[in-house]
Amino acid sequence: MQDIGNILDNRVLLVALLACVTAQILKLLIELIRNGKVNASVLVNTGGMPSAHSALVTALATGVGQSLGWATPDFALATVFAIIVMYDAAGVRQAAGKQARILNQMIDELFQEHPDIAGDRLKELLGHTPFQVIAGSALGITISWLARSAYISP
């Protein structure tokens, strides 16, 4: 039971999760401003502004750097992890979403007369635009720096 308490004492983890939750709340607010209504599906769908994945991993890497030092292997590991996650979000998953859109269009055209043969549609929005990833990264770094400046050690 003590292990769970230790996890909850991990400031770097808590700040990273706070950055992720903040990004998700911002997605709801942006959706509300754009469409005039709350769309809770943005909380479970991939993509959207800002990237919660980017906010999470950059807050994590920033927190590791702040806590353990910028020249440590721990910071290097967290930074490489963040870069891979952000590249995947804006690169690989974005490309997969574009391919899904094209494949869905091809299936719609090929099976217009027999829609029952077409089957399930592929998920089209899988990734983020580079701007969404940058915004999420900026959010994560900002939240980590703000949390650090608000933190007073005992």
7: Cβ contacts below 8 Å, ≥ 6 apart: 13
Q: Flag whether the pTM goes above 0.85.
A: no
Mean pLDDT by 10 residues, the chain (154 residues): 78 95 92 84 79 96 96 97 90 72 78 67 71 94 92 50
Task: Please name the residue that has the structure tokens 């804006």.
Answer: 90
21: Cβ–Cβ under 8 A, 6 or more apart, which residues? none
pLDDT score, position 110? 74
Of 10, 143, 133, the closest CA to residue 83 belongs to 133
What is the predicted pLDDT for the residue at 4?
78
Sole residue written with tokens 């590791």: 64
Across 140-154, b (16+ Cβ under 10 Å) vs e yields bbbbbeebeeeeeee
pLDDT at 93: 66
